[in-house]
Structure 1
Amino acid sequence: MGRLFVFAIVSQIPYIWFSPGKLNIMPTILVGLWVIWLHENGGRYGFLLAAILASTGDIVNLQYGSYGLFMIWIFHIFMSDKGLASLAYAAMSVFFAWASGWSFSMVFQSLSIFSLFLIFKDWKIHMRLNRYFFYFFYPGHIIAILLIESLI
């Protein structure tokens, strides 16, 4: 989690140029890991503490807000059962769409349910990437988007 924390800070620097005043996805992933950690290691109150932390996503303005944190948690809880994971994912998507007053963005986000077959597919591709590849890829793709945007 320490490396992810450092990476979240470092990757935020180019992201500020791309989207001032907003956080990139890395803090959401980091807090999602904290939610999982609380659930697994929080003892008697672990589930409650994890739920409270997951509920703060909108307050601190994380990308995807509480929805994103609960989705990370759902994938962890149901990682061994694709059917239950899909059902929980669909239920959570509908709940958040309803809770938002059926806002366009949440209804649209609910369509991500159709990506689950790609997520759960057993891909037979075996690639080896340098362990540092994504440390450069993520900020690099943000910079590439900025360059393309400046040309348009």
Structure 2
Amino acid sequence: MPTSPASHHNLSDPAGDCGADRIGLSSFALKIVAIVGMTLNHAAYIFYPYLPFEAQCVMLAVGGVTFPVMAFLLVEGYRYTSNMRKYAGRLLVFALVSEVPYWLFLSHEGNVLFTLLLGLAALYLYDHVEQRAAFWLIFTVIVAASSLCDWGILGVVMILMIRIMPDRRQRVVYPVLVPIASLGLPRLSALMSSLDLVHLPFMLYAFVGCTGAIPLLLSYNGRRGRPLKYFFYAYYPAHIFVLGLAKGLMFGDWMLGF
């Protein structure tokens, strides 16, 4: 999971008007929130057939907070990284390592670290390709590539929106509206038309989880917090492997998650 240097100003509020006392959440605290949400989300998918309906609802509702926080921290890390090559290389290495448990236990697509890596490339090119038409052409290719990864085209679009929105609150709120509209509204429509509660957990993922990321990100205080960056990277493949192994040993089920 992306990290950022030890001292910097708030991405959303570079002038520092978020408060001189820095009350709020550090990037470390946001990463803890993302880890909790990610773990519950992946556990819900991996153990989906064995979970009570109520547990599915709660776990996916909390899980929806994860990607908006990860996307925000990626942009934060990009803005203040001192070595773009190392930053991208670190993401690539852990994306490749993570693909093994992800492919075995969750889905036959690129894991979310590849989505973040493509988003990082989009951020860099946005700032370094002077011809706007050339950039948008390249960005279209990046978006197409991201369709093969977790979060599909939504993830890269959200990452760039966080970078280019002019207002602090817009940078948080508008990107989150993307999954609410594209993931939540179709599930709401399906639920209302069919009255099939199977859609409810996935509707809650967008409407509760993604929406819940908004106050968290608005409370970001611009501080790094505890510097345990490699733990966050390593946790991603490790928790998928442990969850998948646990399901296999407990239920004799080695199939992919829902």
TM-score (norm 1): 0.75
Equivalent in the alignment of 1:148: 246
Which of 158, 167, 173 is equivalent to 1:71? 158
Q: Higher mean Cα deviation, 39-48 or 6-15?
A: 39-48
Which of these two proteins has the greater Rg computed from alpha carbons? 2
Equivalent in the alignment of 2:235: 137
Residue by residue, what CA displacement relative to the aligned partner does 1:54-83 show, whole Å, maximum 9, x if unpaired? 53156x4211111111111111223x7332
* Offset at residue 40 of structure 1 (A): 0.8
Equivalent in the alignment of 2:174: 88
* Percent of residue pairs identical: 24
Matched residue count = 147
Contact 1:31 1:69 survives alignment (8 Å):
yes
Give the Cα separation in 2 of the matches to 1:37 and 1:125: 23
Give the Cα separation in 2 of the matches to 1:37 and 1:129: 24
Residue by residue, what CA displacement relative to the aligned partner does 1:70-113 show, whole Å, maximum 9, x if unpaired? 111111223x7332224422553466469xxx532896664213
Which of 113, 129, 132 is equivalent to 1:26? 113
Equivalent in the alignment of 2:144: 56
Quote the RMSD (CA, aligned, Å).
Answer: 3.1
Contact 2:158 2:176 survives alignment (8 Å):
no
Give the Cα separation in 1 of the matches to 2:218 and 2:140: 28
Q: Residue type of the partner of 2:171? A: A
Give the Cα separation in 1 of the matches to 2:155 and 2:139: 13
Contact 1:15 1:142 survives alignment (8 Å):
yes
* Offset at residue 12 of structure 1 (A): 0.7
Give the Cα separation in 2 of the matches to 1:3 and 1:103: 36
Q: SS of 1:103's equivalent?
A: helix
TM-score (norm 2): 0.48
Q: SS of 2:144's equivalent?
A: coil
Give the Cα separation in 1 of the matches to 2:222 and 2:162: 21
* Offset at residue 142 of structure 1 (A): 0.9
* Offset at residue 51 of structure 1 (A): 3.8
Higher relative contact order (CA 8 A, sep 6+): 2
Give the Cα separation in 1 of the matches to 2:227 and 2:135: 35
Q: Higher mean Cα deviation, 135-144 or 123-132?
A: 123-132
Residue by residue, what CA displacement relative to the aligned partner does 1:26-64 show, whole Å, maximum 9, x if unpaired? 110000111111111111125413541353156x42111
Equivalent in the alignment of 1:43: 130
Query: Which structure 2 residue ranges, 5 or more long, are not aligned?
Result: 1-87, 188-198, 252-258
Give the Cα separation in 1 of the matches to 2:212 and 2:229: 30
Query: Which structure 1 residue ranges, 5 or more long, are not aligned?
Result: none
* Offset at residue 20 of structure 1 (A): 4.4
Equivalent in the alignment of 2:92: 5
Give the Cα separation in 2 of the matches to 1:110 and 1:57: 23
The answer to whether structure 1 residue 121 and structure 2 residue 213 are counterparts is: no
Contact 2:176 2:214 survives alignment (8 Å):
no
Give the Cα separation in 2 of the matches to 1:95 and 1:55: 18
Contact 2:102 2:108 survives alignment (8 Å):
no
Q: Residue type of the partner of 1:147? A: L
Give the Cα separation in 2 of the matches to 1:126 and 1:21: 34
